[in-house]
């Protein structure tokens, strides 16, 4: 069940958070797109509003919120009309921020009014399990989808502004986040925890979740052992110093091509200063490489090569979920966006870091679950059409919202993606 009051409160909270996030930006930053994956912050603000505007389109005739063109802010929904190409988003300087903020206000007002006034049957407070719940004529489902969509873009925003500021020379880079990073904990040796052979439920069994998390199904999983913490910068530095980036034997063929073409020799945002010491760029500014913090901003290819060099492997997404369920990993008390650090933390004693800190690459290709059924209507293009040439990541990061992440949550990116807070956990048999 979800009440109107709770939905209204969640909606207002998430919409305000997006506005708060752009406050530290200078005048130029809302319009910058340093690479195709990075959308300008102004575009994010308008696109998430366009998503809610589509919900108005489905529910109200002549709602009057069509004040900016869909063409500019539709991302990839073929059925919802033509759109500005993704690579062109950074060429657009108008509508100016004041028009985008006005667009947000108009759409917010109409969504709040819709939630308050729609009749009970159309609001549908029953949290039916997808795909038994109906999208059209089920406002609570639609609004929750819009809220979760905006939370995804908020996480993207953090990784995007990190990349935008990284483009500047070190002496001109400014920290986005003024929160001081916590002092590193004492180095913690890693152990492997045995996850017993058995039949595990994979996927979401109740409540709002993305279509790609349904249907829940049983899987038989052989015994394996999973690392009790994330791979650290110190662990990864040994791979770097051992010539890991120069030895083709550790790499998948496409990974080796990628490393050579991009001339990679370390994770993204690592660099050496004039004294040849390793530094990293964070949302909290430049800092010395902390050997006890989890390594992040590695591609699947780097994660895979590191695992091979280590004599281990990456988990499948099913193994990851079975381990999280077997170990009863809680969502609370994790380093998620609410901790306001925006950087992965060194592991505390007894903490596995399976939720928060960094997304964990799995070796699983992003595929539909048995009985998968896409979301209805215009949002049918949300997940299913991307089940092609992508790998699954699990567990959320320091930029993920607490009420957005779930044990069953499936993130996915192409294997060469490095700008997300992505990291590594090893398994062995």
Give me the residues that bind Fe ion (CB under 5 A), please.
75
User: Which residue is at the shortest CB distance from Fe ion?
Assistant: 75
Which of 383/397 has CB closer to Fe ion?
383
CA distances from 264 to 98, 242, 276, 327 (A): 40, 15, 17, 36
Which of 212/363 has CB closer to Fe ion?
212
Asked if residues 285 and 173 have their Cβ atoms less than 8 Å apart, the reply is yes
Which of 51/214 has CB closer to Fe ion?
51
Helix 139-166 × helix 97-117 angle, to 10°? 160
Go through the chain and tell me how many residues it has.
Answer: 429
Q: How far is the CB of 156 from Fe ion (least distance, A)?
A: 8
Q: CA-to-CA distance for 359 and 377, rounded, in angstroms?
A: 30
Q: CA-to-CA distance for 342 and 211, rounded, in angstroms?
A: 28
Q: How far is the CB of 420 from Fe ion (least distance, A)?
A: 15
Q: How far is the CB of 67 from Fe ion (least distance, A)?
A: 20
Q: How far is the CB of 39 from Fe ion (least distance, A)?
A: 9
What residues contact residue 61 under an 8 Å CB cut-off, 6+ apart? none
Which of 151/233 has CB closer to Fe ion?
151
Which of 75/296 has CB closer to Fe ion?
75
- What are 198's two structure tokens? 């058995």
Instruction: Please provide residue 397's backbone torsions phi and psi, each rounded to the nearest 5 degrees.
Output: -140, 180
Instruction: Please provide residue 138's backbone torsions phi and psi, each rounded to the nearest 5 degrees.
Output: -140, 85
Asked if residues 173 and 165 have their Cβ atoms less than 8 Å apart, the reply is yes
CB atoms within 10 A of CB 205: 12
What residues contact residue 118 under an 8 Å CB cut-off, 6+ apart? 59, 139
Which of 149/343 has CB closer to Fe ion?
149
Q: How far is the CB of 149 from Fe ion (least distance, A)?
A: 6
Which of 45/298 has CB closer to Fe ion?
45
Tell me the Cα Rg of the chain.
Answer: 22
Q: CA-to-CA distance for 196 and 326, rounded, in angstroms?
A: 9
Which of 157/236 has CB closer to Fe ion?
157
Q: How far is the CB of 71 from Fe ion (least distance, A)?
A: 15
Closest CA to 153 of 58, 25, 43: 43
Task: Kindly tell me the number of DSSP H helices and DSSP E strands found in the chain.
Answer: 10, 12
Q: How far is the CB of 23 from Fe ion (least distance, A)?
A: 22
Q: Taking the CA atoms of 341, 342, 346 and 347 in sequence, report the sign of the dihedral they define.
A: positive
Q: How far is the CB of 42 from Fe ion (least distance, A)?
A: 14
Which of 77/130 has CB closer to Fe ion?
77
Given 3-state DSSP classes, what are the helix, strand and coil percentages for the chain, each rounded to the nearest 5?
40, 10, 50
Q: How far is the CB of 411 from Fe ion (least distance, A)?
A: 14
Q: How far is the CB of 47 from Fe ion (least distance, A)?
A: 6
Report CA 237 to chain centroid distance, whole Å.
25
> In 336-400, which residue ranges form alpha helices assigned H by DSSP?
none
Would you call 141 exposed, middle or buried from its count of C-beta atoms within 10 A (0-12, 13-18, 19+)? Answer: buried
Which of 153/304 has CB closer to Fe ion?
153
Which of 144/177 has CB closer to Fe ion?
144
Q: How far is the CB of 48 from Fe ion (least distance, A)?
A: 7
């Amino acid at each position: 069940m979800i009440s109107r009051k709770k939905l209204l409160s969640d909606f207002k909270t998430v919409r305000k958070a997006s506005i708060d996030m752009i406050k530290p930006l200078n005048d130029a930053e809302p319009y910058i797109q340093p690479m195709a994956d990075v959308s300008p912050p102004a575009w994010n603000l308008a696109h998430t509003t366009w998503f809610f505007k589509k919900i108005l389109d489905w529910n109200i005739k002549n709602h009057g919120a069509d004040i900016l063109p869909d063409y500019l802010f539709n991302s990839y929904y073929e059925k919802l009309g033509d759109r500005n190409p993704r690579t062109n988003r950074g060429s657009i300087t108008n509508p100016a921020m004041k028009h985008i903020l006005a667009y947000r206000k108009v759409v917010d007002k109409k969504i709040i009014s819709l939630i308050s006034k729609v009749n009970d049957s159309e609001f549908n407070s029953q949290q039916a399990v997808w795909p038994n719940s109906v999208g059209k004529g089920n406002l609570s489902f639609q609004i929750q989808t819009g809220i979760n969509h905006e939370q995804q873009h908020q996480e993207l925003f953090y990784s995007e502004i990190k990349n935008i500021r990284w483009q500047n020379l070190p002496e001109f880079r400014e920290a986005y986040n003024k929160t001081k990073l916590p002092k590193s904990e004492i180095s913690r040796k890693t152990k492997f925890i045995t996850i017993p052979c058995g039949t595990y439920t994979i996927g979401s069994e109740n409540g709002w979740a993305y279509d790609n998390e349904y249907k829940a199904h049983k899987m038989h999983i052989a015994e394996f052992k999973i690392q009790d913490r994330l791979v650290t910068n110190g662990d990864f530095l040994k791979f770097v110093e051992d010539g890991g980036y120069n030895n083709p034997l550790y790499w998948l063929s496409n990974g080796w091509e990628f490393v050579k073409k991009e001339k990679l020799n370390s994770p993204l945002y690592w660099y050496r200063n004039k004294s040849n010491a390793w530094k990293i760029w964070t949302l909290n500014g430049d800092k010395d490489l902390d050997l006890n913090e989890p390594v992040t901003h590695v591609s699947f290819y780097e994660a895979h090569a590191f695992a091979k060099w280590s004599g281990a492997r990456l988990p499948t997404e099913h193994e990851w979920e079975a381990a999280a369920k077997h170990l009863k990993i809680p969502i609370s008390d994790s380093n998620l966006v609410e901790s306001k650090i925006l950087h992965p933390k060194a592991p505390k004693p007894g903490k596995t870091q399976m939720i928060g800190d960094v997304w964990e690459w799995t070796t699983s290709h992003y595929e539909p679950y048995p009985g998968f059924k896409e979301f209805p209507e215009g949002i049918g293009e949300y997940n299913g059409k991307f089940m092609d040439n992508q790998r699954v990541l699990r567990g959320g990061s320091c930029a993920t919202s607490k009420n957005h992440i779930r044990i069953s949550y499936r993130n996915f990116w192409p294997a060469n993606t490095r700008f997300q807070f992505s990291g590594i956990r090893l398994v062995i048999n």
